[in-house]
Amino acid sequence: MYQYPNEIGRFGEFGGKFVPETLMQPLEQIEKAFKEIKNDPVFEAEYKKLLFDYSGRPTALTFADQVTNHLGGAKIYLKREDLNHTGSHKINNALGQALLAKKMGKTKIIAETGAGQHGVAAATVAAKFGFPCTVFMGEEDVARQSLNVFRMKLLGAEVVPVTSGNGTLKDATNEAIRYWVQHCEDHFYMIGSVVGPHPYPYIVREFQRIIGDEAKEQLRGIEGNLPDKVVACVGGGSNAIGIFQAFLAENVDLIGAEAAGKGIDTSLHAATISKGTKGVIHGSLTYLIQDQFGQIIEPYSISAGLDYPGIGPEHAYLHQSGRVKYESVTDDEAVAALRLLSEKEGILPAIESAHALAKAFEMAKEMDREQSILVCLSGRGDKDVNTLMQVLEDEVNAHV
Ligand SMILES: *Cc1c(COP(=O)(O)O)cnc(C)c1O
């Protein structure tokens, strides 16, 4: 039933390829190459070897017993994508696309980045594969995320500040696509989430589905059955699609947590499903936050990885069909969940992942001990310590 996308890259009405004619052929070549390698055991073995020997998979499944006892409800299990090399799930996709680029005979990598997480993953795999790498990043983000900019440079990548628009992720993506149109002969465009024109949402999903496949097996080993609910945070939606994929055909509740920022009734949020409307962004028909003229409204969230104004087209479809419920979580709720996990489990999660945790903790209290919730812990919080210090320094110091 969930064998999406169809042959023209649609998930229901969503997705597709809304791109200039010059990009149709390069996209078709990528699709063709991906279909060839997808069922090729040699590619599969190479990909798995990189995931295991280089990135450290399989990642652990951790029973959060202290938090579970504290909340007094359903058992909470964490899929530990924070334990991956470079600290999040993004490397799963970056390694897969690098291997695809190599198979296609491409010699250079370009990527877009917002906070710099995908940029770092792209720069990392480019170094490993010996590809020169150019990362497009909005100038506003370059200023805000100087540590990640320097990190990418240490890894040998060139970072190009983008001055158009507001100088954020949307503009960086536009610029990356523009550059790619002119250089697609030898450049491979590595997209960081399940967004963009077909076949990207499909390819990225396939490279992230290992999260759910592994977690399902691991939980079966511990609990002997499926979780009652699976929760993941949603920016573009790649970690969520990756963990949901294994459970779509099962009788399991799936919940996506999007960023409500200061609240969905304010203008400062990134709640694409709750507050968005249908439109085209970066070559794909989906929900996005836009004004009455179709201009993108700049999203806001305390977590730099969730403030994308669109959402992957498969999520748009899963929302419309009702298979997945999307709920929003505010900055404050996410930070509270982050603190609880840190204090009770000794795990400092990324603020993005803390959005999923907040939803899971809230639901766990209403459930009983026989039930379980699987949460995708998409990344580690080391990158967020500066941000957290700005909001919490006085409060945390007062306690110690
Ligand atoms: C980038 C990022 C996200 C958001 O991206 P998705 O494509 O929605 O998964 C979530 N968590 C972490 C740790 C990230 O780095």
Query: CA-CA distance, 174 to 379, in Å (whole number)?
Result: 26
CA of 273 to the centre of ligand 1 (A): 16
Residue 257, beta-bridge partner list: 233, 327
pLDDT of residue 2: 53
CA of 252 to the centre of ligand 1 (A): 22
Q: Is the peptide bond before 199 cis (omega within 30 degrees of 0)?
A: yes
pLDDT of residue 393: 83
Query: CA-CA distance, 15 to 46, in Å (whole number)?
Result: 30
Atom of ligand 1 nearest to the CA of 88: 13
219 class by beta-carbon count within 10 Å (0-12 exposed, 13-18 middle, 19+ buried): buried
pLDDT of residue 78: 99
Q: Is 271 helix (H, G, I), strand (E, B) or coil?
A: coil
Atom of ligand 1 nearest to the CA of 114: 1
E strand residue ranges, the chain: 10-11, 14-15, 61-63, 75-80, 108-113, 133-138, 158-162, 187-190, 229-233, 253-261, 277-281, 284-288, 324-330, 372-377
**Token pair recorded at residue 299:** 């999203």
Q: Choose the residue to mutate in 243, 352, 353 for probing ligand 1, maximizing ligand atoms within 8 Å of C-beta.
A: 352
Query: CA-CA distance, 386 to 302, in Å (whole number)?
Result: 12
Domains located in the chain, CATH noted? 18-51+90-204 (3.40.50.1100), 56-87+209-399 (3.40.50.1100)
**Token pair recorded at residue 151:** 């990190």
193 contacts 78 by C-beta, under 8 angstroms: no
CA of 175 to the centre of ligand 1 (A): 21
**Entry pTM:** 0.96
Ranges of residues in the chain with a pLDDT under 70 are 1-3, 400
CA of 305 to the centre of ligand 1 (A): 5
Q: Choose the residue to mutate in 193, 307, 315, 378 for probing ligand 1, maximizing ligand atoms within 8 Å of C-beta.
A: 378
pLDDT of residue 396: 82
Atom of ligand 1 nearest to the CA of 380: 13
Atom of ligand 1 nearest to the CA of 81: 13
pLDDT of residue 1: 46
* Residues recognised as catalytic: 90, 112, 378
Query: CA-CA distance, 28 to 23, in Å (whole number)?
Result: 9
Residues with a CB atom less than 6 Å from ligand 1: 88, 90, 117, 193, 233-240, 305-306, 350, 352-353, 378-379
Query: How many other CB atoms are found less than 10 A from the CB of residue 179?
Result: 18
Q: Whose CA is nearest to atom 10 of ligand 1?
A: 352
Query: CA-CA distance, 256 to 270, in Å (whole number)?
Result: 13
**Token pair recorded at residue 113:** 């980045």
Q: Whose CA is nearest to atom 2 of ligand 1?
A: 305
Q: Whose CA is nearest to atom 1 of ligand 1?
A: 305
Alpha-carbon torsion (338, 287, 8, 173), positive or negative:
negative
- Amino acid letter, residue 232: A
The rounded radius of gyration (Å) of the Cα atoms in the chain is 20
